[in-house]
Amino acid sequence: MGQQREASAESVVMMPEHDGLRDVHLHEYSALSAAIADATKRIETIRGLYVAAAFATIVAASSKDSGYIAARISQLRSDQYLLTCVLLVPFLNSLLLVYVASLMHFILAAARYNTYSLRPSIEKLVNGQALHFDIWSSNDKRAWLFLRSAVGVLFYVLSTCVSIAILCSFPAAGQFKVGAVPGVAFIVSVGVVAFSVIVGLGSLVISKGFHKAHDSKFLQPRYLYWATVPVAIALYIFLMR
């Protein structure tokens, strides 16, 4: 009887501590969920503004007289400072893509932490199931994930194609025939575009391991991103053809 009373008293003492720890975990989960929502809004805002700008550019170009675009490109080729500004567009474009990829990695990292770190701790404290959305499956969820991934890939491809198209229009700059400043801008943009391509492909590969218990030693970013060097060289050779 004495031992039972001691055990009962101990359980009573431990309950408030469990409740406090559970509240801490739930607060951490709420904070991470809010951060995920904020990162998602940033991505959607960037994509929306980018698509709107692309539509506006297409409409403005189509409303001009025939030969306007060719004349503008010819003017840019003769002015190294204007050309430098244009050649920095792929740099900024790729920088935007890398930023979006970093937000996606944060979302996945936070979701994975919620699912495989916080969830087991909370379930142990409440002695029941909790926070199962990330491991729960249904056709609606599969369709949502597929379409979200498809939109992300299409956005990445569109932005990368725009950058490469700009670089393809001014190959002479890459050969330093227009001047040193446009040449440097061309080389830097090629490197950053190659980096954004590797980041995008790496993001797809890394995201496949969301439900795996351990990360692959060969898919660490510090190894994957070194592939930027050969891709940049191959892209430069392609642009100089």
Residue with token string 């430069």: 236
* pLDDT tens per residue across span 196-233: 999 999 888 888 877 776 776 767 777 888 999 999 99
Residue ranges covered by each domain of the chain: 2-239
Q: Exposure pattern of 214-229 as b/e (b: 16+ CB <10 Å)?
A: eeeeeeeeeebeeebe
* pLDDT tens per residue across span 59-116: 887 777 777 777 777 888 888 888 999 999 999 999 999 999 999 999 999 988 888 8
pLDDT for position 210: 76
pLDDT for position 43: 93
Q: What amino acid occupies position 147?
A: L
Strand (E) positions, the chain?
Answer: none
Q: Which residues contact 57 (CB under 8 A, 6 or more apart)?
A: none
* CA distances, 68 to each of 80, 175, 197 (Å): 20, 26, 31
- pLDDT band with cut points at 50, 70 and 90 for residue 18: low
Q: Is the dihedral of CA 187, 192, 197, 199 positive or negative?
A: positive
* pLDDT tens per residue across span 149-187: 899 899 999 999 999 999 998 988 999 988 899 999 999
Residue positions counted in the chain: 241
Distance (Å, rounded) from C-alpha 78 to C-alpha 85? 13
Bigger pLDDT: 16 vs 96: 96
